[in-house]
Chain A
Amino acid sequence: MPISNDVLTRNNVKVIGTGSKTLMLAHGFGCDQNMWRFITPVLEKKFKIVLFDYVGSGSSDLSQYDKERYSGLEGYAKDIIEIGEALQLSGAIFIGHSVSSIIGTLASIEVPTLFSKMIMICPSPCFLNFPPDYLGGFEKQDLLELLNLMDKNYIGWANYLAPLVMGDNNPSELTGELSSSFCSTDPVVAKGFAKATFLSDYRHILKDIKQPTLIFQSKNDSLASPEIGRFINENITGSELEVVEADGHCLHMTHPEQITNSIFEYLNK
């Protein structure tokens, strides 16, 4: 078992804020903990907040990247579990963006005491289409081609997914800011994370979530449609769905006030 200090350094863990309850904020693919900065100033007044970068993202320790471990989302879930152990977390509230909602779910199933509530922002348990029952948005060929284009274009991965997560109609300054310096991901790792994210199918684990769950979905999101939100809502007992009138895949950045208000309301119930 890794030593706790090593885990905290490895995942660039930051603990901020004060409060009796702890929130763990988990960033999505192609980004790092900085993506939470629009909502942390408000949240940290009432909660203790745990921020971190998955191994390979942001300022994590890249030397700890293990191709095999991180070939599936379970490896990333281990990061969450190990951070939870290092900080001795129990009954914390998990907030995950996009794929992290699924990663957090895997962690909550593995260690049921870790989280007492789950909050998912624009989640998708599967990006593949399985018509007619489930439409994740992409055919396998599309996703393989996407991964293939990542190989063929020698580009700065820091910029990856920027406007898509922001949505087409969001101000270009915001998109520009995000794409220039907001997120940092190693190219080699990004490919592995992309594979684990886009080619996985975790629809079957939703029914195993025992925690009350709040799902935010954007009305217009190229990566996760409101239908996917409804599918998740139907498959998690005791979950609530809030479809936000918005564009893009990054509601906590484009609509921070609405998201934090809903979070407060949900946690005060």
Chain B
Amino acid sequence: MPFSLIAKNLFKHPLRALLTAASLAVALFLLCVLRSLVVALDVGVRNAAANRLIVQSSTSLFVYLPEAYEAKLASIEGVQNVCKWNWFGGYYQDPKNFFAQFATDPEALLAMYPEIEIVSGSREEFLKERQACLLGEGTAEKYGFKVGDNFPLIGALFQRTDGEPWSFKVAAIYRSKKSSVDNNTLFFNYEYLHKTIDAGQAGGPQGVGIFVLELAPGADRVQVASAVDALFEGGPQRTQTATEAEFNAQFVSMIGNVPLFVTSIGGGVMIAILLATLNTMLMAAREQTRDVGVLKALGFSDGSVFGLLLSQSLLLCIAGGGAGIALAVLSGPGMAIKLGTMFPGYEVTKGTIMQAAILTIAIGFFAGITPALRARGMSVISALRSNA
């Protein structure tokens, strides 16, 4: 069956075809975005380091651990390095300008996270200066911060008693080599936070949010995790130690079963678009009933007319769905910047593109199969007598 007949039949009603193709484009774009969000949530789990353990309070992530635990953790056999992480939760000028900030141990951080690559500025300055920070290049680009710039952050969780914002200096800018660390975070010296609070110049929770442990080569992570939890069995705060992957998975689950929710929305969208496309194809097939009779009378086989109808559906879906997928891919980098804070690691992956392409073809197939089968089984005479 010539492509021209397939295309001409399909675009016999250009507005209808265009609207259906546009619906498919929107649906597939949305599906790619939703799928990419799920992938972004999962990226921390998939790319977690195998040699890092996270120690948190067994009560909740929001219950802080005593600072004194650090030395005890460092003494456990199999632990090579310990790093404190405290969520700061500030914002730049306006609550809308939010990005992740952590008070941490600069030296331990850079030792334990080789994926953090300093692309400009001074590592030494970050280690040495109390107000220095290491800033992800995504956030630096977004707000136009350069190495040496000073900028304020208004503390939400840790508020200064004088009502002034916290002051930071960009000592270095980093780029992450792995998606286990995003490109938007600000790291600063834990001492800056701790000393300010101790001096009574700021308020906020005392202690440490989590400890990250780096395992010594050959250390058994299960044994080390058990040893940590056993050590603090008697308090004052009991701990829960997990691998980085387990911790990230638990963190994602705290905001609910987002993958299920997002997949449900995507599934609903796909069913709706399948029904809409099926409706279009049924209308198109009904209008072509007599043409089917003519083609069969001229000697075209039942298989040919089946192919004609099915090809129209596939062509419509590939045109519309392909446009949606292309739009999702092209807008990917822009979306990654926009969603960087909430969904670091947002990317329209090859897997997402493949899934969307398979879905597009599946919609085309299922929307076209009913009219195609009807056309295939229709007798020449009844098709020619049709008044459609």
Binding between chains A and B: no
| B interface residues (Cβ-Cβ under 8 A, vs A) | none
